[in-house]
Chain A
Amino acid sequence: MVNEKAYGSLIKPFGQYTEPLPPSKVLKEWHSIRDNFINEIHNGKNDGAPKYPEILQLIPDELVSELEESGRIISIGERKKQYCYLWVINKDDIIEILWENTQNEMHIPDKLVKHSNITAADLAYNGGEMYFASNNRLFINNASDRYGLRRNFWNGAFEVIKKIYSKYKVIDIQKWE
């Protein structure tokens, strides 16, 4: 495939799906806007933790076992956005990160940001979630229905993140089966 690398192939949002998608997964205009989040989107190169919000949101230790066991946080509902950062490897091979709790004022009534707000709904190689924890731990999964959940590219993507975040202990929490 053209533009295929170990960490992904370039796809449009939801491009990995072949079966019909429910209408809720039709790309919305307010999930395609990047300009409103220019200052919040973080370029992940050089081992940098996101600068927005100003204080890095560490996942509490009592939720870490849930992350390790399930690969995601569901026990606290929508409040998990407080600790979740969305990551994307964009078409220029750069990891960009956006705090999931960033408010999307254009989205009625949910005010959610999505991975496609990082890319302006453009092509990207891969995507998922990351959770920073105490003792320099960084938990990574492939949970992005726009760009992620592709098992054949997961190891490559994980290696890229591990290399970039070399000062962290990067932990793979993606569950496939």
Chain B
Amino acid sequence: MANKHISIWIIDDSLPYQRFLNEIDDTLPISASQIGNIINSGDGWPDEEQPLKDLTNLILQSQYFINGFIDLKWILYPNFGINALKNESEIYSPDLVIYDWEYKNYPGIAPEATTDENEKFIMPSSGKSLLMLLNQLQESFFFIYSNRAATIPIELFKDKLDDYAKQFQVLPKGDNRLYLSAEEMIYNYILLRINNQEKINIGGKEVVFDNSGMLRDYTDILYLENILGKEYLKKKLGEVADPFTDAVVSEILKEFSFQLYLSADKKILISEKDPFVEKKYGPLITLSYKEAFNKYGLQIINEALNNTIIKIH
């Protein structure tokens, strides 16, 4: 499969570019070579921004970047991004925006809050800019990537943000609550945009995704984690040999003790049986997780666990 090109914007004010002030117009998108120079200068990044520095480095050192499949730009403040989109001499159209939530000083906009024209809601400046960018870049995907993701005041503008729900995902910087770190998710997203059939490295384990199989992309790892639990998945990943594939997932699920149920007509998948369900859809056919995985895949199992009873096609 031919590789596809991806254009990425990182919008974040933590780039330590001060030493390069004479060479860089900090109101414009900063090029990848300039980003590389800044990283290589060894100038300090705040501790909490280390995950972003590592992610940027990972992108710049990847074969895909070296071979021209990734175009990376850094923008220091969201309003500079909005201005760049108005630029008539250069057309920008990022496929992915890695959007920081917190800004220490926000040029041209009050630092803490701004009120919309109807005074219906108040939101941080970055929230208002985010909505403008989401609206202008409707073909782009956004990772809202923040040190304080759990406290982003989403409730302040939720009704507006929900219009773009399919266009973004909130990720805490350096987050390790899930088996995949936030940075691994972003990097995997980039690789999968370039080439759907991809090997990636998750927690030191080589994982092989196959678009025609049941382990299709990194979200399947997240479904698997939800099904098995982080600790069980971690333990099992430590036990199996490289690479981690469909067949290995099938083997892991073979040992999993819980069960699912299939209706007599095999059109309904059930995660919990009760007398009504047995009477209405039975006699139920007991299904191991391995069998369910091989037939329907991880997303369907996850959906059955979330909804108790689902229709399958």
- The residues in B between 267 and 304 inclusive whose CB is less than 8 angstroms from any CB of A are 268, 271-272, 274-276, 279-280, 302-303
Contact of B305 among A24, A71, A111, A176 (CB under 8 A): A24
A143's nearest neighbour on chain B, judged by CB, is B308
Shortest CB-to-CB span from B164 to chain A, Å, is: 10
Residue of B nearest to A23 (CB): B229
Give chain A interface residues in 12-65, CB to chain B under 8 Å. Answer: 22-26, 29, 33, 35-40, 52-54
B310, CB-defined interface residue at 8 Å: yes
> Is B165 close to A, CB under 8 A?
yes
Contact stretch, chosen from A3-11, A74-82, A160-168? A74-82
Whether A36 lies near B154 (C-beta < 8 A) is yes
A108-119 Cβ-contact flags toward B at 8 Å (1 or 0): 111110000000
| Chief secondary structure at chain B's binding surface | helix
The answer to whether B305 touches A103, judged by C-beta atoms less than 8 angstroms apart, is no
Q: Are B219 and A72 touching (Cβ within 8 A)?
A: no
Measured in the bound complex, the distance between the Cα atoms of B302 and A112 in whole Å is 12
Asked whether any CB of chain A lies closer than 8 Å to the CB of B258, the reply is yes
Does A108 contact B232, Cβ atoms closer than 8 Å? no
Chain A's closest residue to B270 (CB) is: A74
- Asked if residues A72 and B275 are in contact (CB atoms below 8 Å), the reply is no
Which one of A26, A71, A108 contacts B229 once the chains associate, using CB atoms below 8 Å? Answer: A26
Total contacting residues, chain B, CB less than 8 A: 45
* Given known A-B contacts A70-B280, A108-B222, A35 and B155 have beta carbons under 8 A apart: yes
Q: What residues on B are CB-neighbors of A105 within 8 Å?
A: 144, 152, 154, 161, 165, 168-170
Per the CB 8 Å criterion, the residue count for chain A at the interface is: 38
Nearest B residue (CB) for A78:
B303
- Alpha-carbon distance A152/B222, docked complex (angstroms): 37
Q: Of all chain B residues, which has the CB nearest A110?
A: B306
Q: By the criterion CB–CB under 8 Å, are A177 and B276 in contact?
A: yes
The answer to whether A109 touches B223 (Cβ under 8 A) is yes
Tell me if A94 counts as interface (CB < 8 A to partner B).
no
Q: Which of B135-163 contact A (CB under 8 A)?
A: 144, 149-152, 154-155, 158-159, 161-162
Enumerate chain B residues within 8 angstroms of A71, measured Cβ to Cβ: 276
Q: Separation in Å of the B142 CB from the closest CB of chain A? A: 11
Q: Report chain A residues within 8 Å CB of B307.
A: 74, 78
If the complex has contacts A103-B162, A103-B165, are A74 and B302 also in contact, measured as CB distance less than 8 A? Answer: no
Nearest A residue to B185 via CB reads A108
Given A36-B158, A105-B168, A105-B170, A24 contacting B302 (CB threshold 8 A): yes
Set of chain B residues within 8 Å of A68, measured between Cβ atoms: none
Contact A111–B279 (Cβ < 8 Å): no
- Kindly state whether residue A172 has any CB partner on chain B within 8 Å: no
**Whole-angstrom distance between the alpha carbons of A53 and B158 in the complex?**
11
Does B311 interact with chain A (Cβ within 8 Å)? yes
**Closest CB of chain B to A69's CB: distance in Å?**
8
| B19 contacts chain A at the CB level, 8 A cutoff | no
- A36 and B171: CB pair below 8 A? no
- Once bound together, how far apart are the Cα atoms of A149 and B252, in whole Å? 31
Contacts of A33 in B (CB 8 A): 150
- Please name all residues of chain B whose beta carbon is closer than 8 Å to the beta carbon of A169 when the two chains form the complex: none
Verify B276–A108 contact, CB threshold 8 A.
no
Using an 8 Å CB-CB cutoff, how does the interface string of A136-177 with B read, 1 for contact, 0 for none?
000000010100010000000000000000000000000111
29 A-B interface contacts by CB (under 8 A): A23-B229, A24-B226, A24-B227, A24-B229, A24-B306, A36-B155, A37-B158, A39-B155, A39-B158, A71-B276, A74-B268, A74-B311, A77-B310, A77-B311, A103-B158, A103-B161, A105-B152, A105-B154, A105-B170, A106-B149, A106-B150, A106-B170, A108-B169, A108-B178, A109-B223, A110-B302, A112-B306, A175-B276, A177-B276
Interface residues of A (CB under 8 A from B): 22-26, 29, 33, 35-40, 52-54, 70-72, 74-75, 77-78, 102-103, 105-106, 108-112, 143, 145, 149, 175-177
Taking A110-B302, A145-B272 as known contacts, 7 extra A-B pairs with beta carbons closer than 8 A to each other, sorted by chain A number, are A24-B306, A35-B155, A105-B161, A109-B169, A176-B274, A177-B275, A177-B279
